[in-house]
Amino acid sequence: MKFGVVVFPGSNCDMDCYHVIDQVLGHPVSYIWHQEKDLAGYDCIILPGGFSYGDYLRIGAIARFSPVMDAVAEYAARGGLVLGICNGFQILLEAGLLPGAMRRNESLQFRCQDVFLRVENAATPFTNQYRRGEVIRMPVAHGEGNYYVDPEILAQLEREGQVVFRYCTGEGEVAPHANPNGSLGNIAGICNRSRTVLGLMPHPERCSEEILGNADGRRLFRSILSWWELAPGKGATACG
Amino acid sequence: MFQARIYVTLKQGILDPQGNAVQGALASLGYQNVEEVRVGKYLVLSLAHSDRAEAEKEVREMCARLLVNPVIEDYTFELQEVSL
């Protein structure tokens, strides 16, 4: 299974993602420069965290118009797997590949801390190695993760099982004080209707090895591999 | 040539943490009559158009495509003819 990590000017988690795929999972991975227009041969595209284009105007607003994003939209439309982490999630929202928008954190603070997440949907290509309702720990590092979407679409996300991760306490209680940014419904990550595009604010690539003190994020990447193995050729024919 | 002055604000009803912080700071300075503060963006574009209707159309298009996120933001703009 071949992964591609998109590099925008200002991406800064691209090397971490590459490292996890290459060294931890032992799978082929390449960087994809933002000027690239061809994603043939990739089985999963990762939009990493960072501050693409300096986050000028609005976060993700300029990145979404880079040449590679047209290719990513086409890739996603054909059923290809797309994972957006932090800034990558914000870009997916700006590009309209996932619904909603990010506002400044309610506290106005840049939050760099570990958070607890409840896995709300374990039946996706990105979460099948977790259990539904399981509480996991991941780091967040962002100033704008305050997710917003209008009430009708929020209801649809809830109904269709598109809310994948929610901020919670260590005991799994979804409570305001467990929410680092004020996001609606404590939402930390959502997917599209077909489950093939996931965006999340926390950083699974920063917690994929025991030596880092936490390997909860590794199962997200392992989920992708396991989904791929169970659906051989599915992505390849869709995206090859 | 035209100058477009574009004001981008968060939609009514969308929480504005920045505005709330500014309001709190004003209140701490003794300005108790400030009921709400909304912080927005102000963009000034110089446009090499000679036709007002064309310029207006393009400003709307630029707002819709890039300058404004319609999920959370509203905008208004003024267009003024300027000489070089």
Round to whole Å and give the CA distance between B84 and B79.
15
Quick one: what percent of chain A has pLDDT higher than 90? 94
* Contact yes or no for A116/A186 (Cβ under 8 A): no
Model confidence at A236: pLDDT above 50:
no
What is the per-residue pLDDT across A34-83, written as a single tens digit (0 to 9) for each? 999 999 999 999 999 999 988 889 999 999 999 999 999 999 999 999 99
A203's CB contacts (< 8 A; 6+ apart) are A13, A16, A49, A85, A86, A138, A139, A140, A141, A217
Show the DSSP H helices in chain A as ranges. Answer: 14-19, 67-77, 87-94, 151-159, 218-230, 234-239
Q: Which of A61, A93, A100 is opposite residue B66, by nearest beta carbon?
A: A61
Q: Which of A57, A104, A182 is opposite residue B18, by nearest beta carbon?
A: A104
Chain B's closest residue to A65, CA to CA, is B66
**Which of A108, A198, A191, A185 shows the shortest CA–CA distance to A150?**
A185
Token reading at A236? 């390849």
List the domain boundaries for chain B: 2-81
Domains and CATH numbers, chain A: 3-239 (3.40.50.880)
Give the residue numbers of A annotated as catalytic, written as ranges: 86, 203, 205
For testing contact with chain A, the best of B20, B39, B43, B72 (most A CBs within 10 A): B72
Q: Does domain B2-81 have CATH number 3.30.1280.10?
A: yes
Residue A146 in contact with partner chain B when CB distance is under 8 A: yes
For B14-42, give the secondary structure using H, E and C: CCCHHHHHHHHHHHHCCCCCCCCCCCCEE
- The residue assigned the tokens 């949907």 is A121
What is the per-residue pLDDT across A161-189, written as a single tens digit (0 to 9) for each? 999 999 999 999 999 999 999 999 999 99
In angstroms, what is the C-alpha Rg of chain A?
16
* CA A137 to chain CA centroid, nearest Å: 15
ipTM: 0.79
Quick one: what percent of chain A has pLDDT higher than 70? 96
Chain A's closest residue to B17, CA to CA, is A106
